[in-house]
Structures are given as structure tokens and as C-alpha cells.
Amino acid sequence: MAEKLFGTDGVRGVANTELAPAQAMALGAAAAVVLRREGAPSEVVVGRDTRISGDFLEAALVAGLCALGVPVTSLGVVPTPAVAFVTRERGAAAGVVISASHNPPEYNGIKFFGSDGRKLADAMEARIEEEVPRWQEHPRPVGGSVGRLCRSEAAIETYAAHLRESCPDGLAGLRLVVDCANGAASYLGPRVLAELGADVVTLAATPDGVNINENCGSTHPEAMAARVVAENADAGLAFDGDADRVILADGRGRIVDGDRVLCLAGIHLARQNRLPGNVVVGTVMSNLGLEQALQKHGIRLLRAAVGDRYVAEEMARVGGALGGEKSGHLLFADKTTTGDGILTALQVLRICRESGRSLGEWADEMQELPQVLLNVKVTRREGWQEIPAVAEALGRAEAALQGRGRIFVRPSGTEKMIRVMAEGPDQQEVDTLTRSVAEAIQVNLGI
């Protein structure tokens, strides 16, 4: 059975092979077909990260949209949340981002936002996917009816203003180390922080098209954390390639991930009566330590599927104000429609100022249980549950951890990989149980 084109975060693969220009053009044209069915389309907003493959993939995608009569406004290299914000602000029909987020430089991806600035629902993605193989069957406009490509720097400035407004008291007196992952935050992130008054030490902000996420950014925050200590800084921030997530470090160089941010922000908002229902939305991968820390303050943790789109959907269902993922995707519902690394960092720093507590003091609110995550590269992601050896290994691990921890298996939504995560009170036991399940998957499905 063929794999779905769309994963948990759009279409993704190695650029020019798994994700080729022809496919990007077909996706653009298919999206245009679906949008035109909804009525006369307004513009589609497009942005990308710093990958060299973004040049030809953007050109192909825009060609597909314009060829089917949909005008495009290109923002160039911008954070993913900037596209979501501008799409909503301008009343555009949709937004599209060309990025593979935290993945290695050879990857790229295409993800869509609706007119409300939120990730497209699965049903809408399915409609676009249906049109990909048959987009050429549709009549094409000619003359003045084809779409036109425009570029807008002014639209980017509205997003920068939105970020500054989210931190009204500014950041004067703070010294920050900022790792931009040689990605989309390289131009805007340090600038906004400096405009708010922070003294900024910048790392990995010289993108060359092939160094995005290379030993830097949110997937490699160690250099940022070490530099915080060396610079005697107050905090550090590490964005990923498209700046929709952030991992922080406190003044002692200790990593503060998305779970700890959910913890501190949840407690702070609850104390201010700004946490409806005293609910925080995490994911199935959120550490049990987060759930336990929130419970001490009368806050419930709800778990959504992995992916900030599913977190956002669960937040909307329960009227939640705060949600996110351990990986650093955080959503503050009153300020953003999707994960936003720069905005998240600003909210964390704002909370520290409002509360009079350092990031390190806030981070100590949560005690993380030992957790192990193993990634197994596989030939296919489907059907792993039906393999007896895998089911047996998983059953033994679940029985061993029952009442004390948990084990969770899920296919990656963007790569041919299956992730095995376990957590519990004993590190050695968690290591052993995780390896036993991962080895069963490797033997039966591994590359």
C-alpha cells in the first residue's frame, strides 16, 4: 500500500529525489484546484527557510499555483509562524511554507496553513492529495486570469511588530545567547530581541543554504548552553530551522525543553486566572514529570497526538490557552495559531520578569522522570502493530511498567522511522525495555 503524501507536518523528503520540482508544482496546482472550488481565491502567502533547495521548490510551487489562477505573495526567507500570521492578517486563502523544519539540510518539505493561520485539517490535505495526480486534467486560465507573483517585505514587518507587542515591558538588562540554527530565524530573531532591549550574543546565524541545523539549533542546543555559561548570560535560546520551536537554557547552562516551558507557563497563567479550565495540552510524548508537577498546582495535563496541529485541535476542543510539545513547539492561544519559537521565548522571558523568578528557578518546578527515545529507521512505517515479535516485546514492556511508567511506539510523520519511547522511575530498566522493543522492530522492519 502506498504511503500517504502528507505526514504529520506536510509533505517532506530528500529534496530533488523524494520531493522533486515536479511534485512541488503538482502540489501547488492541486491546492489551487481545491481553493478555487471554495470560491474565487484570494492570494496564497508563501515563505521558506534557508535551504538551497528552497529556491527551486518555491519556484515550482508558485508555478503550480499561478498556472491554475491563484495569485501568490512571497515573503522569502521567514519563520514558519510568520507565514501563518501574515496569512491570517491579510485574509489570504492559504499559506504555504517550504521547509523541513529540524531535519537535515538535504531534506525539504511543503506544509499548508488555512486562511485562519492554522495547519490544514487532515480532510483538506486529503482533498489536495487526491488532486495531485490529476491536476493537469483541469482547465487552465489564460491571459489576465493566471495568477501573479508579488513579493512583500512590509508584510514581514507586521509580524515583527506582533512579536514586539507580545512582550510589552521589553527585555532591557537581559543578556541572551541566541542560536538561529542557520535557519529562518537568522535575520529576524536576533533583531527583534535587540529591538526589545536585550544584549544579544548570536550563534549559527550565517546560513549558506547547506548548514541549516548542522550541529546547531534546537536539536543540538549544547553549544548554546555552554555559551550561556561562558558569557554569563541570563538565558539561551535555540531555534530550529524554520523557527517554529525553541529550546532554552537557564543561566547555569541547563536545558529547558518544551515540557518545562509548559510547566512554568501553566503555573504562572493559572496563578493569574488566565488558564481556562486549569488545563494544559501536551502530547503522548510529554514526560510524566510534567503531569505530576502540574497536578501539584491543580492543573490537568491532556495528551494529544504528536504534532502541533493536533495540540492546537485539542486546545480548540477544550478551550485551552496553552499547549505544546517537549520538542519546543509551544502554542499560546491568545497570541499565535501555530508553534512559534521566537514568540515562545518572549513569553518565557516575560513570565520570568513578571514573576521575579529566574528561568532556572522556574525549571526546578518539574522533576523529569528518566525517559529514553530510540529511533529505528525502517523500510515502511505501516503494519508494525501486526508483527508478533514486536507485539510481544511491547506487551512485556507495558506489563513491566504498569502503574510506574509507560512505553509508547509511533511512526514518524516525516521520515521512514519508528520511534520507541519509554519512561519510568529507573533509568536502567527504561533503557532495557526501550531497547527490547526497538530491536524487535529493527529485526523485522529495519533498514
Annotated active-site positions, please?
101
Alpha carbon distance 249, 231 (integer Å):
13
The alpha carbon dihedral of 270, 272, 275, 278 has a sign of positive
Alpha carbon distance 81, 312 (integer Å):
14
Distance of CA 398 to the CA centre of its chain: 29
Q: Check: CB of residue 188 under 8 Å from CB of residue 82.
A: yes
**φ/ψ (deg, to 5) at 47:** -140, 170
The alpha carbon dihedral of 144, 145, 146, 148 has a sign of positive
Alpha carbon distance 257, 363 (integer Å):
9
Q: Check: CB of residue 336 under 8 Å from CB of residue 81.
A: yes
Strand partners, 371: 423
Alpha carbon distance 165, 160 (integer Å):
9
Strand partners, 199: 175
**φ/ψ (deg, to 5) at 240:** -95, -175
Q: Check: CB of residue 375 under 8 Å from CB of residue 411.
A: no
CA atoms within 13 A of residue 288's CA, in its CB half-sphere: 16
Q: Is 117 left (phi over 0), alpha (psi -120 to 50) or beta?
A: left
